Each structure stands twice: as structure tokens, then as C-alpha cells.
Structure 1
Amino acid sequence: NKVLSTEIENDHSYIVYKENDQILVNKQHPYWDQIQGQLYLTNRKFCYLVIWTPMQSIITEVEKDNEWESNLEILEAFFIQKYIPYLIENNL
């Protein structure tokens, strides 16, 4: 039952943290890659990250990170080399 804005103050273990009264997105958090992947796959420039608790909600805009684009090659290789063969092998 803690207030979200207090809980995230200077704590980088969450997807967002509060520093100098600003809500910032933690680029080291695993959700960062998920958000960026979805932005690239849907060809969006930004999205809204919504964090809800019964006590408080936070909505912050997340922009596409151009440096993240290099991960697309890794994702494509995984899809072609691992995922598609798995689907075929298991008749899925």
C-alpha cells in the first residue's frame, strides 16, 4: 500500500524511477527491450507506459530508441533459426 511515486524515488529496480522530480524510464530493465521491440514491430515513434496501483498511477511517454535497432538482427536470426523450426517440428 505504498505510494508509487515515493516507492520509485531513486530506485532503479523498477521500469521507471523518480529523480529530481522527473519520472524516467529505466533502460536497464527487461521491460525496456519489450517496449522497444513492440515500437519497432508496430512502426510507432512512441508509446505510453502505464503503471497502475490501487494507490496511484503513472503514465509516461516512451520514445523509440534508434540505438535499439541493432537488436532487430538478433531477433530475426532467432525467429528464423530457432522459432520457425520449432513450430514446424512440433506441427504448430
Structure 2
Amino acid sequence: MRQTVEILLNLIEQLHTEVKELREENQRLRDENNRLKGEQGQPDIKAKKPRGFSNNHSSEEERKTLKNHSKGSKNAHLKIDREEILEYPLE
């Protein structure tokens, strides 16, 4: 049973890489086709961060701990520099 699962996982990995390569080739061919038509191909945008898993994961306990976020009153920081009384017309 263990060998069967291992063989299946290897097959899945091979098929995954093949599908990825075929998608990249398909996109290259579409870009070439668009270029020959006089259109622009898909832009080549590089990712800022590498994809995949990183080993720097936080634990569940760290994610569940509450952080002290307090929003202070803005009125405490206001400085009143003048007072003015306005009249409102009663009509």
C-alpha cells in the first residue's frame, strides 16, 4: 500500500510539472502569435517575493493572542485658540 501511494505521488508530481511546462509553452505561443499579428504579448511581470512555503510560520497561539490596540480621543489633543458665536437666521 505504501509503495502504491509513493508511486501515485511521484506520478502526480510529474504530471504537475508537465502541465506547468505546457501552460508556459502555450503562453509563449500565444505571445508569438499576437506579436506576428502586430499586437502586444502578455507582459513579463516578476514577483517581488518568492513563491512557496517558508519555514518561518507563526504558531496558532501567537496568532490568537490579542494585541493591545487603543484609539485615543482626538479631542484631548485639540487646542482651542479662539471662540466665536454665530447667529442663525430663524426665517
Question: Higher relative contact order at CA 8 Å, sep ≥6: structure 1 or structure 2?
Answer: 1
In the superposition, the TM-score normalised over structure 1's length comes to: 0.21
Structure with a larger share of its residues in helix: 2
Larger radius of gyration: 2
TM-score, L = length of structure 2: 0.21
